[in-house]
Amino acid sequence: MPIKKSSFKELRKTKTRTLFNKIREKKIKDTLKKIQKALTIKNLEEAQKLAQSVVGMIDKAAKRNIIHPNKAARKKSRMFAAIKKASAK
């Protein structure tokens, strides 16, 4: 535990930021799961609509250092590859 008063304040801020970041990550993860589910039931329109919304979330998370930029690029690439593969069938 921190000793100084300013350290307590920093600890509070860190907890708040961590919670915010976890919520953002969870939203991205849930939306990617929805896309996969839509692709398994062959609902390409819904998958593409969700893909457009998740790209913004992923980019914003990468910009704010919630996730690494390379991880963001990998997630987007794999998502679009899955959509392209499903639409080719």
The residue ranges of every structural domain in the chain are 8-88
- Residue 76 CA to residue 51 CA, distance in Å, equals 9
Q: Which fold has domain 8-88?
A: Methane Monooxygenase Hydroxylase; Chain G, domain 1 (1.20.58)
Q: How far apart are CA 55 and CA 14, in angstroms?
A: 26
What is the pTM (predicted TM-score) of this model? 0.85
Q: What would the pLDDT profile of 25-84 be if each residue is shown by its tens digit?
A: 999 999 999 999 999 999 999 999 999 999 999 999 999 999 999 999 999 999 999 999
